[in-house]
Amino acid sequence: MKLAGQSAIITGGGRDIGLAVALKLAEEGASVAINYFSSSAGADEAVAKITGNGGKAFALQGDLTKQADVDALVDKTVAEFGGVNVLVNNAGGLIERKKIAEMSDDLWDTIMDVNLTSTFRVTRAALAHMKTGAIVNLASQAARDGGGPGAVAYATSKGAVMTMTRGLAKELGPDIRVNALCPGMIDTDFHNVHTPEAGRRGFEAAAPMKRQGNTDDTANLVLFLACDDSAFITGTNIDINGGMLFS
The values of phi and psi at residue 192, to 5°, are -60, -35
Does 36 participate in catalysis according to the annotation? no
Active-site residue (options: 36, 37, 154, 190): 154
Instruction: List, in sequence order, every beta strand (DSSP E) within 92-185.
Output: 133-138, 176-183
Positive/negative CA dihedral, 178, 40, 79, 224: negative
Count the Cβ atoms, other than its own, within 10 Å of residue 82.
12
- Using only C-alpha atoms, the chain has a radius of gyration, in whole angstroms, of 17
Count the Cβ atoms, other than its own, within 10 Å of residue 129.
19
Instruction: List, in sequence order, every beta strand (DSSP E) within 39-132.
Output: 57-61, 86-89
User: What are the catalytic residues?
Assistant: 154
